[in-house]
Amino acid sequence: MKGAQRLIRTLVEGGVDVCFMNPGTSEMHFVAALDDVPEMRAVLGLFEGVATGAADGYGRMARRPAATLLHLGPGLGNGIANLHNARRARTPVVNVVGDHARRHLPFDPPLASDIESLARPVSAWYRASSDPRDLAADALEALSAAWGPPGAVATLVVPADVSWEEAGEDDAAPAFVRGSPRSAAETALSRAAKALRSGEPAALLIGGSVTRRRGLVAAGQVACAAGAKLLCETFPARLERGAGLPEVERLGYLAEFALAQLEGTRHLILVDAPAPVSFFAYPGVRGTPVPDGCEVHLLAGAGDDGPAALEALADMLGADATTSPPPPPWRPARPTGPLTSQAVAAAVGALLPEGAVVSDEANTAGIFLPGATAGAPAHDWLCLTGGAIGQGMPLATGAAVACPGRPVLCLEADGSAMYTIQSLWTQAREGLDVTTVVYNNGAYKILEMELQRVGAEAGGPRAQEMLDLARPDLDFAALARGMGVPASRARTAEEFTDHLEAALSQEGPVLVEAVLDRSQW
């Protein structure tokens, strides 16, 4: 059996049966071996950032790794931004990166590069295979690192000759065994309970696995029983929300908002979430929103069983299912008038289907979305965990592969859309049920805001041109049609709502371009 065939079989036996790829010459034996292992689904992306972002979306929703297949160091480099987001989301991903044949590397061919230096910053585990007979064992270690807990990015480099040489028989490697989350320490539980019983202002900050139903229910009970504020990370990897679930307030992106949310807090209890920090430094603004004098308690960290820790804490506080009843369902009215970001949010809230998966990269245009969708039917919300834009469309692509029976809604800012718009081609090719909304406001609005917030002097015409997406204007509907995705443009709230409703009723990919009324900004 060739090394490539053995590698794919090992991945499939370890629970990885989807590979998002953009292969090249050094990966051709892996590609050829796909016909020998039909259990592995191969999904082609026209840019490596689409492949890595789709693997992230798949892992967040499937709760198991996808593989990527990338071409040498440059291919890995093209995919790094979305691997950064996956690392921040603690998503399980197994990267397979091809390399030159071992005997060819001493010649320093044009595509030779320092793959390890590229991979290390986004990988919790890294190895370059050197013998096809060890390839199965190497793959098993990559799988173990990726599965976690917590989930992680693992990168396995496979030279071309390791793929094409003989690797031995099927039974040469042991079976794969998954790890299990750790229980929270009793001392951490006791300290958290003591803090919550103190009567001093307290807040829970949750993230990771705790932002799904089981953890949310327990967190809601604890917060209600103790009179504590319930917050979650600014950009949770996957937040289950909507009718029937406790409401949780996301920590503000703007440092000033986060400072206001935590003002007066004397105890901050972290549950599978890091201590909060501002995204950037600003003149005269604190780097962390945690108030002076606030004691930070770690109840459960990465790799711990956060939901179980909260359930144990709820028991200690005497909380139960009656302590925190969920809010009733509600929807906003269908919007009318000019097409603003607030109108788009109202339309999404009015129409969001039950069980939807929302990939949110609306950025500044999405400020009204949380409030407008809080009472919609239960759904999942996927966020830009690492702040590297160009995630929304690939993330939606991977989520749709992971959840073929669920509608996926991608809410995408125009500037971010241009990073990985090739995702639409993959969605069309695979027949994925993804509705994409592009907010076209013709500018990098977030940078207009940041220009002022960092204390820079008011930008003149040359500076403003660097934040403007006009000359020429982008036509996302035309771009989508060029990649096989039906599309429409809307310029009023009524048009947008009608187009979105029609798009959500169709199977397969559809794009709706929301041309926002720029006079409303």
Of 399, 422, 425, nearest in space to 410 by CA? 399
At 351-363, the pLDDT tens digits run 999 999 999 999 9
483 in Cβ contact with 428 (< 8 Å): yes
Question: In this structure, is the dihedral angle defined by the CA atoms of residues 443, 444, 450 and 456, taken in order, positive or negative?
Answer: negative
Lowest mean pLDDT: which of 51-55, 181-185, 455-459? 455-459
**In 14-71, which residue ranges form alpha helices assigned H by DSSP?**
28-33, 48-62
pTM for this prediction? 0.96
Residue for token pair 């909260």: 310
Which of the 8 DSSP states describes residue 508? S
Domain covering 341-520 in this structure, CATH number: 3.40.50.970
| Residue 520: predicted pLDDT | 65
State pLDDT tens for residues 58-95: 999 999 999 999 999 999 999 999 999 999 999 999 99
CA-to-CA distance for 155 and 150, rounded, in angstroms? 16
pLDDT of 171 over the 60 cut? no
Pair of tokens at residue 116: 């390890």
Neighbours of 465 (CB within 10 A): 11
Q: Would you identify the CATH topology of the domain 3-172?
A: Rossmann fold (3.40.50)
User: Which among 398, 466, 382 has a CA at the least distance from the CA of 79?
Assistant: 398
Name the band, by pLDDT with cuts 50, 70 and 90, for residue 284: confident
CB-neighbour burial class of residue 292 (10 A; exposed 0-12, middle 13-18, buried 19+): exposed
384 to 83, 234, 396, 398, 511: CA distances (angstroms): 12, 9, 12, 14, 20
Inform me whether the pLDDT recorded for 510 exceeds 90.
Answer: yes
Write the pLDDT tens digit of every residue in 11-51: 999 999 999 999 999 999 999 999 999 999 999 999 999 99
How many Å apart are CA 319 and CA 316, to the nearest integer?
A: 8
pLDDT at residue 459, as a whole number: 65
Q: Map out the domains of the chain as residue ranges.
A: 3-172, 186-316, 341-520
**Cα–Cα dist 418/185, whole Å:** 46
For residue 42, the tally of other CB atoms under 10 A from its CB is 17
Q: Does domain 186-316 have CATH number 3.40.30.10?
A: no
* 48-62 and 72-89 helices, crossing angle to 10°: 30
Residue 174: predicted pLDDT: 66
